[in-house]
Amino acid sequence: MKALISILVFLQIQTLHAMGHYKPGDTLYVWAMSGLTLRDGPSLNTAKLATIPYGTALKVLNYNGAHQTVVVAVPGYKAGQESNPAVELDGDFAEVTFKGLKGYLFDGYLSILPTFKYYKTADSGSPNFENLEEWATRSFGLLQKTQTGTFEYGIASTSQSIFGNGILISTWIEKGGQTRIVLPNISMEEAFLIFNCMNNYEWQILSQNQANLEGFRYEKTNMEAWLFSTGAFETTIRYLPHEYLVIISDYCSC
């Protein structure tokens, strides 16, 4: 327990900048699956200069926080008889250079966190992402992992993993499965980008017909929480503004 407390205290000191608080010289990664448009000015109405691919790392030249913009990340949809609103990302514009071009990127799709690796399946074209622990280990290193109990097939009933930038993943498996992910120093928008890769959410909504979306649900509450249901999985993304961290709670009834 003392070792765990020491690690967490250390991680509070070694924190990352969060979106909206980055500064010139920081490296940001493009999380838009179809690429992110580099524009001539800090507005969606300015000329397009280039499309920057997913996963590209860029150095920030400038950010002033003066051009608040909202972009639809996933359009609204109907699941059965229930209509669901669009998932929207708030952001501003970061000035960057890409292949000799200087321009502006909407930062709702940018993060200091490296992107997930993925490949596309041959049959459906669905992105197949690495899992969360693979991503966190590769990006930040695993500091500590504890496991207790035994479920089916030798799977631990409970486990807890702590990673080099303060990400904490806890899982419980009994009749169902629960996962709690603590993500320090990130925004709700960045947490959604991680959730999107974990669950292939955007691809499912855009590629499936209405009948296959039965049981899908999205709700944005007034308590800094985004609620998602994807069939057997229910996820809550909750932002704690005073601690400046996000908790993703994932429950599977399967």
The residue range of the domain holding 200 is: 2-252
Identity of residue 124: S
The 10s digit of each residue's pLDDT in 174-233 is 767 899 999 998 888 999 999 999 999 999 888 877 667 877 889 988 668 999 988 778
* pTM for the model: 0.87
User: By three-state DSSP, how is residue 64 classified?
Assistant: coil
DSSP H helices in 113-152: 132-140
Q: Residue 20 is encoded by which pair of tokens? A: 């909206």
User: By three-state DSSP, how is residue 173 classified?
Assistant: strand
Mean pLDDT value of segment 45-61: 96
The 10s digit of each residue's pLDDT in 21-52 is 688 999 999 999 999 999 999 999 999 999 99
Average pLDDT of the chain, as a whole number: 85
CB atoms inside a 10 Å sphere around CB 9 = 9
pLDDT at position 145:
93
pLDDT at residue 20 greater than cutoff 70? no
Number of domains in the chain: 1
